[in-house]
Each structure stands twice: as structure tokens, then as C-alpha cells.
Amino acid sequence: MSYIEHLFALSEKDVCSTQNRAVLRAIDESQKTVLYIRPVCKMWACPECGKRNKRFWTARAIYGHEKLVENGDTMYFWTITAHEEIRNFDEGLHYWRKGWNALYCQLKRIIPDFAYVRVFEHHKDGAFHVHFVTNGMPPNERWIKDAPRAKHMGYMNEAEKVRSKYKSGFYIAKYLNKAISNATWPRSARRIQPSQTWPKLPENAPESPYDWKLIAFGTDLDREMNVWRKRGYGVQTF
Ligand SMILES: [Zn+2]
């Protein structure tokens, strides 16, 4: 997100409640004004930012689905269930990370322009699922069952065509809701990941004309602002 997008995000009703957020400052010499913003924390664990992140990814899933279908692609949901011997999230994640690159290369050979967004689902019993919205299907049932399983990652237990972009958005939102409400989510684990080929949302804001600088934590902001005022600058905070 650009800083301007942070600004837009701040104007929404879900204002970030994380304390000790970074403060950024820019100086507009032409207007003799000093600007301060506090970007949102963007953390999934933050109630407001978690919701905002979910909205962003839901929008990106819908947008990507639309663009890929315009390209002539057919869209699918898949679920890969962790290997039956895996009953804890860390172990599952270990095999998933270890096996994914090789599996991805295999998939790219089978599915030209392979694109996906995937969401991790962490079950109470320690198992996990990985849910995909994607533009491709592996060629046959056997491959689906065997290839991920051979890498100890699990097996595909669900795959269906998805005809509506809103259904793709709903699917992503549904599993992100589960991820958000899970207070024990491991710190190192992602909730969601897109492929590099998944379409990006168009920029809705121009790049900031300002050069934003991070202000050191612990700076006495009131005092600093007063120094600027004494020098004849206006101060604006967002
Ligand atoms: Zn936040």
C-alpha cells in the first residue's frame, strides 16, 4: 500500500486502534506546511486492520476472477487437506513450504498462466486446509490425489468450477473470517498469498507528491510541531 492509500484507509470507519504506530512527516516548502500521518498497522491481529485487509483481499479476488475470465480462463476452487499424519499446524506448514516450489513448477507445466489466491485454514485439531481460487485444474484425479501427497503436503479433496466472481470473493472472505477469528494463529504463518500472476487492483490514488520520512519512536510530537510553528510553518495532521 502506498502512503496515500493508508490515508484513504484511515478515512474509513475502521480506524486502526494499535498504539505506538509509526509517524511519518513530509514538508511542503511551497505551502510552508508540515504534514504528519500515522499509517495503519495493517496487522491481521488488529481488529480494524484485519477487517480492512479482508476487504482488500476480497476485492482483489473478485477483480482477479473478472480479469482472468476476460482472458478466456475458467475459474476453480480447490482445497488441499494436510496429510493425514499431520496433526499440528507447524508441522503441516513445514511440509507445505518444503514442497510448494516443486509442486508449483509441476502445476505451471500443466496449467499455462497458472494464477491463484490461496488462504490457509487452521483447524482446531491442528490440521489445516489450503483453499485456492485459481484459473486452472490439474489434468486428472490421480495427479490431484498423488502429487501433493507424495510431498507430504496432503491431497486435494475438493475441486469445483466457480462461475461467479462474487462467489470467488465470498470464498476468500469466508476463510479470511476464520483466520481473523483465530486468536492462536502462528506469528510466522501467512493468512493469504497470491501468485505473482494474480491480477492486481488498479491504483486508486495518485502517488504522493511528498517525500515522507519516518519519525523516530519516542519523539515528543507536540514539541516538534511547536518548533515548526515557531519557524512559521503550518502543521497538518491526518
Ligand atoms: Zn491496525
Contact yes or no for 113/197 (Cβ under 8 A): yes
CB-based contacts of 204, cutoff 8 Å, min separation 6: 5, 8
CA-to-CA distance for 74 and 99, rounded, in angstroms?
A: 26
- Reduced 3-state DSSP string for 164-221: CHHHHHHHHHHHHHHHHHCCCCCCCCCCEEECCCCCCCCCCCCCCCCCCEEECCCCCH
Query: Residue 3 has what pLDDT?
Result: 46
Element (H, E) at 25: strand 23-28
Q: Dihedral angle at the C-alpha atoms of 67, 73, 79, 82, nearest 10 degrees? A: -100
Q: Does 137 lie in the same domain as 100?
A: yes
What is the pLDDT at residue 122?
Answer: 82
Is 60 in the same domain as 36?
A: no
Alpha carbon of 187 to ligand 1 centroid (Å) = 16
Residues 133 and 231 in one domain: no
Measured in angstroms, how far is the CA atom of residue 96 from the centroid of ligand 1? 29
The total of other beta-carbon atoms located within 10 Å of residue 51's CB is: 17
Strands 213-215, 116-122: pairing kind: unpaired
**Ligand 1 midpoint to CA 192 (Å):** 17
How far apart are the CA of 26 and the centre of ligand 1, in A?
A: 22
Residues with pLDDT less than 70, the chain: 1-13, 141, 204-206
Give the pLDDT score at 5.
Answer: 56
> Are 190 and 100 found together in one domain?
yes
pLDDT, residue 6, reads: 53
For ligand 1, a single-atom ion, which residues have Cβ within 5 Å?
16, 18, 40-41, 46, 49
| CA of 171 relative to ligand 1 center, distance in Å | 24
Instruction: Indicate whether 174 belongs to any domain.
Output: yes
Specify if 200 maps to a domain. Answer: no
Q: What is the pLDDT of residue 188?
A: 75
* Single-letter code of the amino acid located at 226: N
Tell me, in angstroms, the distance from the centre of ligand 1 to residue 28's CA: 27
CATH number, position 69: 3.30.70.1910
Residue with cell string 492509500? 5
| Rg (alpha carbons) of the chain, rounded to whole number | 22
Name the 3-class secondary structure at 102.
helix
Q: What total number of domains does the chain contain?
A: 2
Torsion over CA: 206, 210, 214, 215 (sign): negative
Predicted structure pTM score: 0.80
* Distance from the alpha carbon of residue 120 to the mean position of ligand 1, in angstroms: 21
Ligand 1 geometric centre to CA of 85 (Å): 37
The boundaries of the domain holding residue 74 are 47-194
